Amino acid sequence: MNAPVNVDHEALARSLPLDKLDVSDPALFRDDVWMPYFRRLRQEDPVHHTAESLFGPHWSITKYNDIMKAELAHKTLSSDSSYGGITIRDRPADLRLPMFIAMDPPQHDEQRKAVQPIVAPGNLAKLEGVIRERVCRILDGLPRGETFNWVDHVSIELTVQMLATLFDFPFEDRRKLSYWSDRATAFPMPGGIIETEEQREEVFAECLAYFTNLWNERVNAEPRPDLVSMLAHAEATRNMTPREFLGNLILLIVGGNDTTRNSISGGVLFLDQNPGEFAKLRANPGLIETMVPEIIRYQTPLSHMRRTAVADTEIGGKLIRKGEKVVMWYISGNRDEEAIEEPDHFIIDRKRPRQHLSFGFGIHRCVGNRLAEMQLKILWEEILARFPRIEVVGEPQRIYSSFVHGITDLPVRIPAN
């Protein structure tokens, strides 16, 4: 679509011919102007075909109920990586990483089971204490009365510390996890954090070498409740090829990293933009329970997931043909006025706050959802216990991506007293 800068996006979204409307343009997300384009599609063409885009032809599913239907149709809408992957951008065949999010049953179900114990209630309860201690240490170390980037000081640091705990990863090397994660999902472009797919492969090789050492340490030891040990001992994963090991590592690193990170940043931004909601929260900290899922809905840290039709199928009255690419836009379903009341408003005391699509739905629904919520809950409890407010003092900078919906810079100031 290549919208020029300084345009009236509301007007442009209304006036563009439908066949020129391409919601996959990463600039729409970087510039935070995606909303009117999706609104138009939900109203006029909810299952929309785009013939030409940066990512080739694809279908966009934009309404809440149609997305649920697509998620449940996993027999005809496949996640299998051999069809090109689970995001809108096709991965070159020789560079595809096998991982269970990009598999169909039965292999998907077996491998998913291998890591499921990490989020069993007993394990979550054990993790809670460690996470709280780390949250407190991070918050207590923040500067007062000075501007700093919340994303780097808190969002990245906290998620990386949690991931290091889940993998039982050497703590001093924990920033390697965000380094690998950022490069696994980046859009290759000149001047970007990766410029080519070859550079991405170099980063993957480094990640695999590091984790292979951890695997070798753990495979002959007693099983332990960390993700590497779980993968090394479970029936479905202990004979994985190195490429499959890498794929599942990247899944777990990216799954737990970008998403939680951007919910942490989003929460600070939304409360700053909605002082009335912040006042409600101050008056009643018990609202953290319902605010956390609202932050995750409102941010929608992954804008979409993609499937490929393996048979002709119908969604929303449109015929999707075998071989076509289908993009389920969670970011739009979460703003569907027919499913969610006042969806464009951030409301921390919604009656059904978990009614959102940010974690997906069906057999691939996020494994880490409760873990992510727990982390945000602890963070906000400890923020309220310390700081009267966190002021956003500059424009947030957003990621150029139509997959990871996130913030790279969020300048904030915590008042000195």
Between CA 303 and CA 101 the distance in angstroms is 16
According to the binding rule CB under 6 A, does residue 184 interact with ligand HEM? no
> Site size for ligand HEM, by CB under 6 A?
28
**In 195-241, where does DSSP find H-type helix?**
197-219, 227-233
According to the binding rule CB under 6 A, does residue 259 interact with ligand HEM? yes
Q: Report the 10 Å Cβ neighbour count for 298.
A: 24
According to the binding rule CB under 6 A, does residue 81 interact with ligand HEM? no
Q: Which secondary structure element, helix H or strand E, spans residue 325, and what is its range?
A: strand 325-329
The site string for ligand HEM over 321-360 (x = CB under 6 A, - otherwise) reads -------------------------------------xxx
Q: Which of 325, 314, 303 is nearest to 83 (CA)?
A: 325
Using CA atoms, how far residue 308 sits from 79, 312, 327, in Å, is 7, 10, 9
Name the residue nearer to ligand HEM (CB basis): 81 or 408.
81
Query: Residue 346 CB, nearest distance to ligand HEM (Å)?
Result: 16
Q: Which of 298, 303, 20 is nearest to 187 (CA)?
A: 303
Cβ-Cβ contacts under 8 Å for 172 (sequence gap 6 or more)? none
According to the binding rule CB under 6 A, does residue 268 interact with ligand HEM? no
According to the binding rule CB under 6 A, does residue 302 interact with ligand HEM? yes
According to the binding rule CB under 6 A, does residue 149 interact with ligand HEM? no
The residue whose two tokens read 């550079």 is 199
Cβ atoms of 408 and 334 within 8 Å: the answer is no
Cβ-Cβ contacts under 8 Å for 330 (sequence gap 6 or more)? 67, 300, 302, 303, 304, 305, 357, 358, 360
- Tell me phi and psi for residue 416, to 5 degrees: -65, -30
- Residue 137: both structure tokens together: 């240490």
Residues 223-252 binding ligand HEM (CB under 6 A) are: 251-252
Q: Which of 26, 266, 267, 301 binds ligand HEM (CB under 6 A)?
A: 301
Query: Which range touches ligand HEM (CB under 6 A), out of 150-158, 299-307, 389-397, 401-409?
Result: 299-307
According to the binding rule CB under 6 A, does residue 84 interact with ligand HEM? no
According to the binding rule CB under 6 A, does residue 367 interact with ligand HEM? yes
According to the binding rule CB under 6 A, does residue 362 interact with ligand HEM? yes
According to the binding rule CB under 6 A, does residue 101 interact with ligand HEM? yes
Q: Which of 271, 371, 374, 379 binds ligand HEM (CB under 6 A)?
A: 371
Q: Which of 361, 374, 399, 402 binds ligand HEM (CB under 6 A)?
A: 361
Q: Which of 13, 28, 296, 378 binds ligand HEM (CB under 6 A)?
A: 296
Residues near ligand HEM, by CB under 6 A: 71, 100-101, 112, 166, 251-252, 255-256, 259-260, 263, 296, 301-302, 305, 358-362, 364-368, 371-372
